Amino acid sequence: MLSIVVYWVGWVIYTHYLHPLAKIPGPFWPSVSRTWLMYRMYKGDLEFHQRSMHHSFEYGPLVRIAPDEVHSSDPKAIPIIYRVQQPLEKTNFYLTFRPMIPGFSLDMFTDDSEKHHTAYRKIVGPVYTLTSMLKNEGALDKTANLFMERLGDFADRNESFDFGLWLEMFAFDNVGAVFFGKQFGFLEESTDYGGYINAVHTALPLNSFVAMAPFWIRPLLLNCGIVIPKIFKAVMAAAGIWETAVRETNMAQERSQDNTAKRNDILSQLLAIEQDKKSGLTIQGVHTEMWAAVTAGAESTAGALRAIFYYLMKHPETMAKLIRDVDTAFENGMLTHPVQYHQAMKLPYLNGVIREATRLFPPFGAPMPRYAPAKGLELSGYHVPAGTKVGMNASVVQYDKELFGEDAYAFRPDRWLESGDRYRAMDKAMLVFGAGTRTCIGKNLSNSEMYKLVPELLHRFSIEMAHDQPWKTRNATFVLQSNVICRFTRR
C-alpha cells in the first residue's frame, strides 16, 4: 500500500510540475489523470467544460486536458494540426469505435494509418462525391415525401410528438435509400427499425467513456460494460446492424447478376469497384462501408437537423424571416416540390441558418486528436513535444469571439451573409465535418438532406415546441439531443 501511495505522489509531482507539458496551462486534475476526460464524458458535458477552460477561466487558446494531451481553441491552429501535407496520424482514441466483429475491415473513421487511409480513400472516394450522391436525389425525395405524410398525420390529429426521434428515423431511412437502394422501414412502420437507434444511443456513451481512458485499461472497461444487460442488448443490436450490412450486400450481389440495369445506390457502386480485382477493395471492405453508414451516417445528420429546427423554434423572428424567403422562392419558381439540392443552395439566408445552427451545435462534440510529429509542434507560443496528443473540438473552436464576433455564443444567421475575407475565414474555422485529409466522407449526403428538408418542411407546416422547456443534450462523442417535443400545423 505504501509503495502505491509513493508511486502516486511521485506521478502527481512529475506530471504536474516536471512533465514536458507542465508549462501548458490548465486545471490540476487533467494534468495528472485522464479520469477528468472520462468523468466529463460520463456526465456528457465535455464541450461545456472545454469552452469554460478557454473562455471563462481564461487559460488561453492552448489547454492541457490530460497528462499526455492538449487542446487548442485557436482557429489558426487548424491548418497546423489538420494539415494536408505530411498529415499527423490519428491517435488510439478512435480504435474504441471499431466493432468487435469477425470479418471487420478498417473503416475510414477508425483507420489510424494515414498511409492506408489515403490509399483506401482513393478507391472508394468517388462513390461519395456530390455528383454521386445526387444520382440518388430521387430516392431522397421519396423518403422526404413519406416523412411529410407522417408529419401531416400528427398535424391532422393536433398531436404533439417527439420530432427529434422522427428526424433520426428520417435520416436512417435516407441512409437505407441511398446506400442500400431501399428505405429500412423506420418511416413506413413508424418505429425504431431493428432497434438501430437504441443500439447507437446506448453504445455511444460507453464507447466514448472508454475512448477517453488510458489505452491499457480499455479492454477491461468494455468487458465490464457488456455485463450490464442494457449495454449487452445494444451490443447485440449493433451486431444485428453488421448482419444487415452483410445480408444486404449478398442480396445486392445476386441482384447484379440477374439485372443488367445500372443502379446508383452506394452499395451497387461499391460492388462494381470490388468486382475489379485490381481495385484493392474486398467484399469485407464493402461490408464495413455499409456498417459504418448505418452506425454513423444517420446520427450526425439527425443531430444537425435537430439543431437547425430547435434554434429556429427558439428564435421565432429568425424562423419567420426564413419562411418568408422560402415562400418567395416557391412563388417565383426558385424552389419546386420536391425541393432540389441545387435550388436550395441558392438561398443565402437558408445557408446562413444551417451554417449558424451547426456552428453552435456541431454533431460531433469531442476533440479530434492527432499525434504531434517527430519535431513537435509550435502552438500559441508553446512547443508541443513529439508524440503528444493534440486536438480541436468543433464545439469550442466555433465559439471563437475573435473570429465570429463578441456575440459568438448567440444564434445569428446574418453573420453568414457577410462576404469576402470574413466569410472565408469563418468558413475555414468550421469543423462540422472535420478538417484536412480526414473530412467526413458522408458530408455530401448530410448537406443534401439538410438543404432539401428544411425549406420543404417549413413551406408545408408551421412548427412550434409543445412545451417551454429546453432540450436535453448528452455528449457521447456524437452529441445526442432529446426532449424536442413539437406540434405541427398544416400551412
**Do 63 and 382 contact (CB within 8 A), yes or no?**
no
The pLDDT score that the predictor gives to residue 260 is 43
- How many angstroms separate the first and last alpha carbons of the chain? 71
Annotated binding site: 440
- How far apart CA 463 and CA 490 sit, in angstroms, is 9
**Do 357 and 308 contact (CB within 8 A), yes or no?**
yes
Place of cell 513537435: 376
The pLDDT score that the predictor gives to residue 280 is 87
CATH number at residue 29: 1.10.630.10
Pairing between β-strand 69-72 and β-strand 389-391 as defined by DSSP bridges: parallel
The pLDDT score that the predictor gives to residue 258 is 59
Annotated binding site for heme: 440
The pLDDT score that the predictor gives to residue 259 is 58
Number of compact structural domains in the chain: 1
The pLDDT score that the predictor gives to residue 16 is 92
- How far apart CA 327 and CA 320 sit, in angstroms, is 10
In sequence order, the 6+-apart residues with CB closer than 8 A to the CB of 57 are 27
Which residues span the domain enclosing 109? 2-490
pLDDT in tens, the chain (491 residues): 788 888 889 999 999 999 999 999 999 999 999 999 999 999 999 999 999 999 988 899 999 999 999 999 999 999 999 999 999 999 999 998 887 676 677 888 888 999 999 999 999 999 999 999 999 999 999 999 999 999 999 999 999 999 999 999 999 999 999 999 999 999 999 999 988 898 888 888 988 999 999 999 998 888 887 777 777 776 676 677 778 778 878 877 777 665 545 788 999 999 999 988 788 898 888 888 888 888 888 999 999 999 999 999 999 999 999 999 999 999 999 999 999 999 999 999 999 999 999 999 999 999 999 999 999 999 999 999 999 999 999 999 999 999 999 999 999 999 999 888 999 999 999 999 999 999 999 999 999 999 999 999 999 999 999 999 999 999 999 999 999 999 999 99
SS3 185: coil
- How far apart CA 89 and CA 92 sit, in angstroms, is 10
Task: State the DSSP string of 111-140.
Answer: ---HHHHHHHHHHHGGGGSHHHHHTTHHHH
In sequence order, the 6+-apart residues with CB closer than 8 A to the CB of 136 are 177, 178, 264, 265, 266
- How far apart CA 55 and CA 114 sit, in angstroms, is 33
In sequence order, the 6+-apart residues with CB closer than 8 A to the CB of 58 are none
